[in-house]
A = this chain, B = another copy of it.
Amino acid sequence: MSEQIEDFIRRRKELNKIIMENSELVTRRFFNLDEQAYKPGALNSKTKEMLGLIASVVLRCDDCIYYHLINCYRQKLSDAEFSEVMSIALIVGGSITIPHIRRAYQHWSELKKGEPHE
């Protein structure tokens, strides 16, 4: 795993810890639900991560995109599948999503360098 990705994951954990220690019940339970929502069920984890990814692109949240990209990569999303998710996101969300899609392609190529699919 590349250093940049490790940094992102470490920083994410640290900040989540601050929230968990300082927030009240509703927020803590929401974080729990957020985790449950992506657990495999009728849909498998790869499909659920793609759903999380496209939702994050059309809502234009770089941190959320990056997080789901890492998970998609770990679920063995292929390059062709990744490109098709980006195409639908671009069509639905328009050119305003392009800066985020640019960074998603860049992160995707970094993920492949740092931690290749065997």
Contact = CB atoms under 8 A, between A and B. Distances in A.
A51 B85 contact: yes
A15 to B, nearest CB: 4
Nearest to A64: B96
A84 B41 contact: yes
A49 to B, nearest CB: 10
A4 interface: no
Oligomer: number of copies: 6
Contacts of A80: 24, 41-42
A19 B105 contact: yes
Assign chain A's interface to a size class. Answer: 35 or more
Nearest to A93: B94
Contact of A27 (B30, B58, B60, B90): B90
A73 to B, nearest CB: 14
A25 B84 CA distance: 9
